[in-house]
Structure 1
Amino acid sequence: MKRVIIVLFISVLFIAACKTQKSSSVYFLSPEEGRSVPRGQNVTLKIDAESGSFDSIAYLLDTVFITSRKDTSSVSVQTSDLSLGIKVLTAKVYEGAEYKEVTTNIVLLPTEVPVQYKYEVVNTFPHDTSAFTQGLEYHDGIFYESDGMQGESSLRKVDPESGKVLKKIDMPETIFAEGLTIVGDKLIQLTWQNQIGIVYNKDTFEKLREFPYQASQQGWGLCYDGKNIYKSDGTNRIYTLNKDTYLEEGYIEVYSNKGAIDSLNELEYINGRIYANVWERNTIVIINPSTGVVEGELDLSDLYPIEKRNPTADVLNGIAWDAVGKRLFVTGKRWDKVFELRVAGPKL
């Protein structure tokens, strides 16, 4: 008899629990999680919750309060002033002092379609096929190059016309060198997974100091706009670094109208825009550093087809800008050539 009573008691508890769970079920009907939304388009928030099971609903966008409702009527959110990328939408459903929280998210994309730029090859220059190019700079008639690979990494000063290496220091075998930029009389060089950047005297290559990475755990590309240093880490983020302390001060996320642009690699700052190689793609994307919007693309698929490259050649990587002569240079890892390009369009 006791056993029967216990079984009945447990059954009643189970049924009651099921009813409680059902009546307290809350979820977003709109927007669908992960939905891509063009910036400027309003987003409708609507949740499903049983009438009478709550007192009010508070809506938040990335933890910032938007509005509240006492029913499940929809909420319209404007997106025109929001930054690009993933936005977390939260509904806090209150019953007395307690609340249940449900979330969804959207990906906010630019509406602009990137301009497709054309180019022509103006000149070619020889390039050392042992150089696994990770960073390339042009300054006062000289190429400065950071070359990678474990046990092969180096920092070089190169004569563009002949390809002759004028000065070179080899990195320790533990270092995989990456991006490079020039800030005044200093060269700033990244490492890949060593989580340090290295600062040198530009003329003597004397090592002046190291600095640690922060949120960006890897080093890929660098460029400098005269005020800030920009750093890529292989994602779609470009971090802003203080030019004196090398501390990260913020970041942008890079998107085209089709989605996030991941694997951003070598960077160059040209006339107010960041030009970026995309790892394993024959494309340079042109980025607005204020918004992260990809405003243009330069498809270099036909520049140096794989079947015409030297046998040891790897992927496209390396952008340098002659600010005085208005010349754009590109190369690749272990390529035997550096190409000077003339690009059609308003950015150059």
Structure 2
Amino acid sequence: MLFLQKISVWLLLLLTCVCQAQVEAGTASQDFEVLNRFSHDNRAFTQGLLFHDGFLYESTGLHGRSTLRKVEPETGMVVATHTLERRFFGEGLALANGQLIQLTWRERVAHVYDIQSLKPVKQLDYRGEGWGLVSYGDYLVRSDGSSTLYFHHPGTFAEVKSLDVHEQGKPVTRLNELEMMRGELLANILGSDRIARIDIDSGEVTGWIDLSTLRQRYGPWSKAKDLNGIAYDEAADRLFVTGKNWPWLYEIRLIRTLNPVINPPNANN
């Protein structure tokens, strides 16, 4: 009996060491707290989101339902809208040179708008699919659902360079909506309730923001779909998140680092 007890203890210690090694090999996940909850149009299939001068600008998707919207964050009121032609599926959204640039999914067209009136100014062409879009320095950075980010000239949308996103040498795919926060790239991952934190220079995933507790508030009967939509108010250091057809927009604050995730998501639009 004593021999069996010793064997059991030894196996328990071995298992603990193995699990601890697996955890330490992963990438850190960060906890958060909800500071505010604001109304969000649950008919909006959110594909792109950004904050500018006190307003949210939102790109919504689906053929025949795609729009560009100007929204009051605190009330959820849509104060201006532009509706895309039925053939376009709205996607990522970015601000560059005082204009809004909205991607389309497979139509390979980026729409450029006047930010004050939301009136179309011109269209720009690109290769591949459009998923997420964000302004970074002299570039617009686009995702296409793969593990690759594409850097474009904001005026012509010419592709300048690309960057592969990876975690410990493995590609991180299904990169979707993008946002810059304090020099770090944040990316929604299609089909995941986590946001990747990416070093924009190296492409290395440095951590994850696990928002599964927000998504779990909506049961299987809910129309709420994927987590998608990140907006950062740089002036006030506020971070907003929402999802496709979610009834709420959340203002959250990152508060501490948790134990690393053993199997972070490695994951179509």
| Bucket of the pairwise TM-score, normalised by the shorter protein | 0.7 to 0.9
Q: Structure 2 matches for 1:106-185, cutoff 5 A?
A: 113-185=26-98
Q: Structure 2 matches for 1:6-85, cutoff 5 A?
A: none
Matched, 1:278 2:189: yes
Change over 3 Å in CA distance of 1:193–1:306 after alignment to 2: farther
Q: Residues of 1 paired with 2:129 and 2:136: CA distance? A: 21
Q: Which has the higher contact order (CA 8 A, sep 6+)?
A: 2
Could you tell me which residue of structure 2 aligns to residue 241 of structure 1? 152
Q: Residues of 1 paired with 2:168 and 2:204: CA distance? A: 8
Could you tell me which residue of structure 1 aligns to residue 246 of structure 2? 335
Q: CA deviation at 1:208?
A: 1.1
Q: Residues of 2 paired with 1:322 and 1:345: CA distance? A: 20
Q: Residues of 1 paired with 2:183 and 2:220: CA distance? A: 32
Aligned amino acid, residue 229 of structure 2: G
Contact 1:270–1:321 (CA under 8 A) maintained in structure 2: yes
Aligned amino acid, residue 328 of structure 1: L
Could you tell me which residue of structure 2 aligns to residue 304 of structure 1? 215
Q: CA deviation at 1:304?
A: 2.8
Residues 210-242 of structure 1 show CA distances to partners (whole Å, capped at 9, x for unaligned) of: 11113xx00000011232111000100000111
Residues 170-221 of structure 1 show CA distances to partners (whole Å, capped at 9, x for unaligned) of: 111100000001113100000000011111111111211111113xx00000
Secondary structure of the residue that 1:303 maps to in structure 2? helix
Query: Which portions of structure 1, spanning 4 or more consecutive aligned residues, are displaced by more than 3 angstroms?
Result: 306-310
Could you tell me which residue of structure 2 aligns to residue 289 of structure 1? 200
Query: Which protein shows a greater Rg?
Result: 1
Q: Residues of 2 paired with 1:207 and 1:259: CA distance? A: 40
Residues 307-340 of structure 1 show CA distances to partners (whole Å, capped at 9, x for unaligned) of: 4487211110000000001011000001000011
After TM superposition, the structure 1 stretch with the greater mean CA deviation from structure 2, 140-149 or 240-249, is 240-249
Secondary structure of the residue that 1:302 maps to in structure 2? helix
What TM-score, normalized by structure 1, do the two folds share? 0.65
Q: Residues of 2 paired with 1:232 and 1:294: CA distance? A: 15
Aligned amino acid, residue 252 of structure 1: L
Q: CA deviation at 1:116?
A: 1.5
Q: Residues of 2 paired with 1:339 and 1:156: CA distance? A: 18
Could you tell me which residue of structure 1 aligns to residue 116 of structure 2? 203
Matched residues, percent identical? 38
Could you tell me which residue of structure 2 aligns to residue 62 of structure 1? none
Q: Residues of 2 paired with 1:154 and 1:292: CA distance? A: 31
What TM-score, normalized by structure 2, do the two folds share? 0.83
Contact 1:240–1:249 (CA under 8 A) maintained in structure 2: yes
Q: CA deviation at 1:140?
A: 1.0
Q: Where do 5+ consecutive residues of structure 1 fail to align?
A: 1-110
Contact 2:193–2:215 (CA under 8 A) maintained in structure 1: no
After TM superposition, the structure 1 stretch with the greater mean CA deviation from structure 2, 234-243 or 113-122, is 113-122
Contact 1:121–1:340 (CA under 8 A) maintained in structure 2: yes
Contact 2:71–2:77 (CA under 8 A) maintained in structure 1: yes
Q: Residues of 2 paired with 1:253 and 1:112: CA distance? A: 21
Residues 271-318 of structure 1 show CA distances to partners (whole Å, capped at 9, x for unaligned) of: 111100000100100111111100111111112315448721111000
Which of 291, 307, 316 in structure 1 is aligned with 2:227? 316
Aligned residues: 234
Secondary structure of the residue that 1:117 maps to in structure 2? strand
Q: Residues of 2 paired with 1:305 and 1:198: CA distance? A: 34
Residues 258-281 of structure 1 show CA distances to partners (whole Å, capped at 9, x for unaligned) of: 621111000001111110000010
CA RMSD of aligned residues (A): 1.7
Q: Residues of 2 paired with 1:283 and 1:136: CA distance? A: 17
Aligned amino acid, residue 108 of structure 2: Q
Change over 3 Å in CA distance of 1:136–1:309 after alignment to 2: farther
Contact 2:218–2:224 (CA under 8 A) maintained in structure 1: no
Q: CA deviation at 1:114?
A: 2.5
Q: CA deviation at 1:344?
A: 2.4
After TM superposition, the structure 1 stretch with the greater mean CA deviation from structure 2, 223-232 or 321-330, is 223-232
Residues 2-50 of structure 1 show CA distances to partners (whole Å, capped at 9, x for unaligned) of: xxxxxxxxxxxxxxxxxxxxxxxxxxxxxxxxxxxxxxxxxxxxxxxxx
Aligned amino acid, residue 158 of structure 1: V
Aligned amino acid, residue 147 of structure 1: T
